[in-house]
Structure 1
Amino acid sequence: MKNRVLTSTAMALAMLAMPAHAQTADETQTDTTGEDATTAQQQPRGGLNEIIVTAQRREETLQDAAIPINAASGEELTRSGVADVTQLNKVAPALYVPEAGGANVGYFVRGVGNFANNGYTNPAVAFNLDGVYIGRPSSTVASFLDVNRVEVLKGPQGTLYGRNATGGAVNVIPNIPRLGVTEGSVSAQYGNYDALEFNGVVNVPLGDSAAARFAGAWTDRDGYYSDGTGAAENLALRGQVLFDLSPDIDLRLSADYSTSKGTGPGLDVDGVYTFSPFTPNATVPNWQFVPSPANVSEPFTGLFAQQTLDFIENNATAAPLYSPVTGYAYPFRDDEYWGVNAEFNADLGFADLVIIPAYRQSRLDNLFNGAPFKAGINQDMAEQFSVEGRLSGYAGPLEWLVGAYYFDENVEGVNSYNQFSTVSLQEFDTSTESSAIFARGSFSVTDDFRIVGGIRYTDENRSIDALSVAIAGVCLIQPVAGPPSCPQVPTIPVGLTLEDTISQLDPALFPAGSPLTRPSPYGTFPYGPFGPTGPQALLIVTPTQIDRTASDDQVTWRAALEYDVTPDNLLYASFETGFRAGGFNLTFGQEEYDPEYIDAYTIGAKNSFFDNRLQVNLEAFYWDYTGQQLAALGVDDRGNNSFYTRNVGESSIKGFEVDFQALVTQSTVLRGGVQYLDATFDRFVYEQVDLSDATDPPNFLTPVTGCDYTQNLTPQRTFTIDCSGKQALNAPKWTVNLGLQQTFAMRDYEIIATVDGRYRSNRIIGFNYLPTGNSGDDITLDASISLVPYDKGFTAGVFVRNLTNEAMPSLYQLGAANVASVKYEPPRTFGVRVGFQF
């Protein structure tokens, strides 16, 4: 790692040593880097305001960007209650970001994505903060601090961005320092769940040619769940300094630090899938769903409510130990992130040069329960170095850009996943080194018609050195009727390592000696009190060593046509390819997975009518998705529970999206959008080990799934699970947004009142396609009233989110003992906010 960082630093210094000639201070506020500026939030063009975006590495209005994109300014995000990535669906209907356990979040765009990302997987949707790709998508807590705007790009990002992404990209652009300006703001907010929030921003000039900007936020709230889970306490700080080194050169330095504490997301228990062989009316073949009672399934009850724990203990047993399912460990988060980055801009006369070096580090220390584990523990340390250089300019009718990118990431982790009868203990060290060169050109055939092309070559090398230790308790007491039962044998304690785990057990439970007293801790050990015929159970400890290297290289490209029918009406059509590299699993028999690929066809139109009092944008799309990677809980080839990524098949994703804004009067704005999405798995097939043996009848211990399956008896007993034809995950057929903003003018202030509604049709939110794993339809309403000064001064506002207190499931998972859990988006929240701008 050290040598790679030194090499990368040398590359960055070599780039910086190139001849330089830069922009003026005013130009810095609206440069072509994609990471601009305080003044570029919204620009009027008569009628409706428009957001300036830089998603194509050049400054243009949202209406002039001939790509599939949603964008929102910082003010709009605040009014909409978007304080983190999980709420971005409010402004980008195609994007879903469900929370998993601990610091893990999943990213989906139109069914392309993963439920969660761990220390050795990569997201399908790239997250970019201030122009820097974030390798670990959990480390985004400081991203929504002093935000200028957020851009959500839909579809593969295979030509312009730092890392390849098949689903899309989320670009969070903060406000940057402003030269010659002293300004700032402070605010405080209080709401239900004892939610406190304090924010502060200050911009100060440092002479005539430099400025600094500092921002900070602290938030704290009680948990949404009655058991106290879902609580959060976050701190975020960012400091920036901008230097106008000459009329043609500027340099911006930035550093940020953040922490995430609390319990992490909570969960509710929906019921238990119990083994019911050859039951004709079973919920799925051989498995009967036992729903939890109303006082348990009521949204936001929580896993640790006493009635929930009683229900699990009375209805669930975790194979293969079959001891009481008790002793869930209470969750916590204590995660820390920091990073530094720079942006160097130079006007070379013939071209503009941009260089962005960055270093980031994240440290995770959290314990979580979802899917319902006794405990999942993550202690990861990730560090990344990246540098991107771009050169852009004009040559007659050709607008051109060339660039290079280098990314180096190392993640070291110690993880533990305890499911009562089985435990997976993991120690890993992974490295990823990705290099790319790219180019883009836009050729103006006429003043109104352009041909656009882009190409990128990516070379990625990765390695892993890991040890995964599986512990399984196996009950030996077999009653005449019914399943095995070992009520006197304790389940496996929660520990981070093998020694931590085994040392918590009474040595008397190992009549032949503890694994820790043997020359090797691996093997099979009598476990538990002796019964009439010997030990009641066995403890089996199995190591899996993974030491591998792999590489992928790929050319991705984009071709597009753009036609300005009028200065206010744009038509475009594009084809773009995308790819996401393969990777490793800490799972026996599934140690590697292959790359995935996507081809995206888009036809769109962006229109302004009636002197820009009405904007109507249309997009029709078709994506061909192959080699699809999907990370989820499963069973490895030894029968041990595991979380791993599989290449499950291919999808056809098609539909359309329409969004509009209308300035009904000078003080009334009506806005909305509709997305229709038909995302279907053309092929979704994977293998799962069959835990039955030759003495069992065919199709006996079948998988818990709502998909079709076929039992294979040779060469190894497995099931082929086939979910082909199913709706893609987190891909609702219909999404409809409708909002109204009314402004009331006063002498020194204006009052801005907003009401926003959202409808989403049913979504598949669980990997297993269980009949209970659907979200159902939901309709939500948000409202706010804000008092805003025309210039500077006092600000105030009140808000309510999810006014009807709709329970909106976001993730459905089976955990230990086939306990089914559901996570929810936030319930109704409301509060008041006051502040002062100066």
Structure 2
Amino acid sequence: MHRIVRPATAVVALMLAPGAIGITTTASAQTTAPAPQAGGGAQGQAAQLDEIVITAERREQSLQTAPVAVSALGGATLKEAGVADVSDLTRSVPSVVIAPAAGGVPQVYVRGVGTFASNAYAEQSVAVNLDGIYISRPAGANGFFYDLQRVEVLKGPQGTLYGRNASGGALNVLPETPKLGEQSATATLDIGNYDLRKGDAAVNVPLGDKAALRASGMVIDRKGYLTDGYNDDQGQAGRLQLLLEPTEDWRVRLSGDYYHRGGKGSGQVQYPYVDTDNPWIGPSDARAVAAYYAGLPAASAHSPLIQNAKKDGFIDDQFWGTHAEISHDFSFATLTIIPAYREVKEDYLSYIPSAFRVNSESQQRSVEARLASRDSGPLTWLAGAYYFSEDVDAKQDYNHWVQETVMNSKLTDETVAAFGQLTYALTDALRLTAGGRVTHEEKSQDSQFGTATFSPTKPALSSRADDRIWNAATWKVGVDYDLAPQSLLYANVGTGFKAGGFYASAGADTFNPEHLTAYSLGLKNRFWDNRVQLNLEAFDYEYRDQQISYLAPTLTGVSSFPYAPSFVTQNVGRSRIRGFEIEGRWKATSSDLLTATVQYTDTRYTSFTYNYFSNFGAPPSVGCPYTNASGTASPTPVAPSAIYSVNCSGKPATNAPRWTANIGYEHEFAFADGSGLTAAADVYLSASYYTAYDYLAEQVQGGYHMTNLRLTYNAANDRWSVTGYVNNVENQAVVNTSYQPNQAFGNGLNFANIRPPRTYGVRATVRY
């Protein structure tokens, strides 16, 4: 920790220089703009930054007074930046990397902590919450980026207030809610390249003085980015909310939402690319097929079972949920109860380039109850209880043409937790915080598992049942101090864990929870009359028993071929993550806004070993030392197959570039009639990073920069606006994640998920 404390201390001294600190402002809404001043700039607005109110710590507070590391993006900012789904957050928040996997499942990484979601039972290391409801299935993080109030990104373990599966942080997506006494509507149409047609709308209707209804929806239809039509986007979504406030101290909000995703779904490209001039060659494109065969060993390439990706991939997923938020104000505290139910149905065929067929269904139920004190007196506190249960029924067929693996499993999960956090003000400027959570979790899984090699028929299945119980205690302690009216210094130590679970195997099939302890030191500042904001945080993470998912040797239960490569999740070693983040905003004039965020992350595995299976005994294609471990395996693999032990200790984490930054500039041209023209540009910069645990040179995404431009005309009465935009001006091909699907050959053939190329279009919005 001392390595990061000294630089941070120097920054504190700089911030305390005479004249550096400004005047405190009070936020009373989610986003509060300063009052206009005489002689102001564009449309009379003062040259001051807005305040943003967040609920990251389960109560409303200003972003600048919250002693935690959190980034917040308002709904208007998200729409202006064209953030249409969770994966777009990568270019808006430098600490976040979101990488879609097979079936379009988003994989969320924050400061190098995340999960490669390889199967239907995978759970994220970063909790995704929609309107306060934890989304258990990674695929369920799609389809709700419309009519939003804001998005909050909490960095570091959130074991106290968010619990399990938040070891890397939390992503809170908060929709707009009904407003009493307001009749309003908004609609947006987006037309762009790749035949993009996207529309979203929302309407708010008052139902007397004590109730309101809000309905919103979204439809999107876009052709695929890849040459064979994969990586398209087809979906329909809707949300309906009813707000009731029968008395001053009771508030009830009912909500239901639905999302359907269709089209061809996701596809992967060979990496390095088949054609460097056209990286977006899809897996079933004739050029990709020819390159695939060229990379196979001569003997196997002539087998009639060797095939490549086809054009019949599809996705037909459905997600829906309903919940209530019931709150009652007592004289001393506010009670909030949130019961919820959600379903996720996945049905897709994806080529990677092997065929990955998934049909799964999940039902989750949860209830959270919180009692939060009023913000009066030196002590503020929050106490709560949480219950969660889930049933997952999944059928998965992974066929890479030499070997086919079938996994049918039923998973049940039940979790109960109690948590609390309190803050005590020792003086008007100094506060201490402590919190904790205890969790009890029971999981069971009934599986059918089978594999077949060079067989034209489906593999025979064997059954296995297992159950486990885990108990965990997570905690947080912190201190924060007002150096000046708008300068907050804070330090925290917190822990988090991700639940253990199962994978399909005829043998050992269990992995344990992972744990992360984080030390952080931060400084939040507003100065120069609220025109400049500068926030800094240094962090040091200790990560142990990290769960990784990869193709590993799995027991088949068949003596003639005892092992097969299939996706499993296992605990591996330890790692350290250290770094710092700087966020700056400068309202230079009433018409000019400059923003910059820079993050440095140094990740290193202190201990990291895993096993690699080769069907034909070929040495593994990896960038780490390895030894033949066939002789120590039980049972011994049947020749010519072999098991290798790979040691990647000393390597960095995947999807964790050492340097990332986002720099933006916005200027408003104000016209005499009250209308305005806003020009904005931002550029995202990233250092190189590994995209897979094989650590091959071919799996490195090189450093890059990506620029986005937009020009918006706002009518004088703010009734309508039109935006022209270009994203990824450079047409950069950027890899999210990659892996070797054909370990059977040990040929190093690598495939990757790739981000969108250059996109452009026109977006029109009307408001009432």
Q: TM-score, normalised by structure 1?
A: 0.82
Q: State how 1:306-705 maps to structure 2 within 5 Å.
A: 306-317=286-297, 323-324=303-304, 325-329=306-310, 330-370=312-352, 372-373=353-354, 375-394=355-374, 396-473=377-454, 492=456, 502=458, 541-637=459-555, 638-689=562-613, 701-705=618-622
Quote the Cα distance in structure 2 between the aligned partners of 1:237 and 1:359. 16
Does 1:706 find its partner at 2:623? yes
Q: Over aligned residues, Cα RMSD in angstroms?
A: 1.9
Does 1:733 find its partner at 2:658? yes
Quote the Cα distance in structure 2 between the aligned partners of 1:266 and 1:572. 45
Rate the CA distance shift 1:713–1:163 in 2: closer, same or farther, 3 A: closer
Secondary structure in 1 matching 2:292: helix
Deviations 1:273-318 (A, max 9, x none): xxxxxxxxxxxxxxxxxxx6537x8310111111221222343259
Contact 1:418 1:424 (C-alpha < 8 Å) held by counterparts: yes
- Matching residue of 1:199: 200
- Matching residue of 2:735: 809
Rate the CA distance shift 1:319–1:240 in 2: closer, same or farther, 3 A: farther
Q: State how 1:142-291 maps to structure 2 within 5 Å.
A: 142-161=143-162, 163-270=164-271
The amino acid of 2:758's aligned partner reads: R
Secondary structure in 2 matching 1:298: coil
The amino acid of 2:347's aligned partner reads: D
Structure 1, 310-319 or 766-775: larger mean CA deviation: 310-319
The amino acid of 2:449's aligned partner reads: S
Contact 1:121 1:584 (C-alpha < 8 Å) held by counterparts: no
Displacement after TM superposition at 1:750 (Å): 2.1
Does 1:786 find its partner at 2:712? yes
Displacement after TM superposition at 1:162 (Å): 5.3
Q: State how 1:86-125 maps to structure 2 within 5 Å.
A: 86-125=87-126
Structure 1, 75-84 or 111-120: larger mean CA deviation: 111-120
- Matching residue of 1:35: none
Quote the Cα distance in structure 2 between the aligned partners of 1:320 and 1:400. 65
Quote the Cα distance in structure 2 between the aligned partners of 1:635 and 1:715. 13
Displacement after TM superposition at 1:713 (Å): 4.9
Quote the Cα distance in structure 1 between the aligned partners of 2:298 and 2:263. 29
- Matching residue of 2:678: 752
Deviations 1:176-204 (A, max 9, x none): 00000000111211000010011111000
Rate the CA distance shift 1:229–1:689 in 2: closer, same or farther, 3 A: closer
Quote the Cα distance in structure 1 between the aligned partners of 2:113 and 2:165. 14
The amino acid of 1:803's aligned partner reads: V
Secondary structure in 1 matching 2:225: coil
- Matching residue of 2:753: 823
The amino acid of 1:431's aligned partner reads: T
Rate the CA distance shift 1:103–1:805 in 2: closer, same or farther, 3 A: closer
Structure 2 gap ranges (5+): 1-26, 36-45, 556-561, 637-642
Contact 1:185 1:201 (C-alpha < 8 Å) held by counterparts: yes
Contact 1:651 1:682 (C-alpha < 8 Å) held by counterparts: yes
Displacement after TM superposition at 1:712 (Å): 2.9
Secondary structure in 2 matching 1:156: coil
Does 1:720 find its partner at 2:645? yes
Quote the Cα distance in structure 2 between the aligned partners of 1:583 and 1:691. 27
Displacement after TM superposition at 1:753 (Å): 1.4
Quote the Cα distance in structure 2 between the aligned partners of 1:376 and 1:712. 29
Deviations 1:543-591 (A, max 9, x none): 3422000011111000000101111100000000111121101034441
Quote the Cα distance in structure 1 between the aligned partners of 2:507 and 2:614. 14
Q: TM-score, normalised by structure 2?
A: 0.89
| Residue from 668, 680, 686 that aligns with 1:743 | 668
Contact 2:228 2:283 (C-alpha < 8 Å) held by counterparts: yes
Quote the Cα distance in structure 1 between the aligned partners of 2:589 and 2:446. 63
Contact 1:546 1:591 (C-alpha < 8 Å) held by counterparts: no
- Matching residue of 2:77: 76
Displacement after TM superposition at 1:396 (Å): 3.5
Quote the Cα distance in structure 2 between the aligned partners of 1:651 and 1:214. 46
Rate the CA distance shift 1:597–1:245 in 2: closer, same or farther, 3 A: same
Contact 1:267 1:303 (C-alpha < 8 Å) held by counterparts: yes
Quote the Cα distance in structure 1 between the aligned partners of 2:238 and 2:298. 44
Does 1:837 find its partner at 2:740? no
- Matching residue of 2:689: 763
Quote the Cα distance in structure 1 between the aligned partners of 2:267 and 2:299. 25
Quote the Cα distance in structure 2 between the aligned partners of 1:691 and 1:256. 46
- Matching residue of 2:10: none
Rate the CA distance shift 1:789–1:159 in 2: closer, same or farther, 3 A: farther
Contact 2:124 2:165 (C-alpha < 8 Å) held by counterparts: no
- Matching residue of 1:24: none
Contact 1:80 1:90 (C-alpha < 8 Å) held by counterparts: no
Secondary structure in 2 matching 1:435: strand
Contact 1:780 1:803 (C-alpha < 8 Å) held by counterparts: yes
Contact 2:164 2:497 (C-alpha < 8 Å) held by counterparts: no
> What number of residue pairs does the alignment pair up?
709
Rate the CA distance shift 1:588–1:207 in 2: closer, same or farther, 3 A: same
Deviations 1:596-655 (A, max 9, x none): 101000000000110110000000000000001011223324331201111111110001
Deviations 1:776-821 (A, max 9, x none): 0011100111122464412111111001111111121211355311
Quote the Cα distance in structure 2 between the aligned partners of 1:461 and 1:414. 22
Displacement after TM superposition at 1:262 (Å): 1.2
Secondary structure in 2 matching 1:423: strand
Deviations 1:655-684 (A, max 9, x none): 100010001111100000111110111111
Identity across matched positions, percent: 37
- Matching residue of 2:7: none
Displacement after TM superposition at 1:213 (Å): 0.4
Contact 1:105 1:117 (C-alpha < 8 Å) held by counterparts: no
Displacement after TM superposition at 1:423 (Å): 0.8
- Matching residue of 1:85: 86
Deviations 1:508-541 (A, max 9, x none): xxxxxxxxxxxxxxxxxxxxxxxxxxxxxxxxx4
Contact 1:41 1:148 (C-alpha < 8 Å) held by counterparts: no
- Matching residue of 2:14: none
The amino acid of 1:732's aligned partner reads: P
Quote the Cα distance in structure 2 between the aligned partners of 1:294 and 1:148. 42
- Matching residue of 1:697: none
Quote the Cα distance in structure 2 between the aligned partners of 1:206 and 1:263. 42
Rate the CA distance shift 1:714–1:311 in 2: closer, same or farther, 3 A: closer
Larger radius of gyration: 1
Quote the Cα distance in structure 1 between the aligned partners of 2:245 and 2:445. 44
Secondary structure in 1 matching 2:158: coil
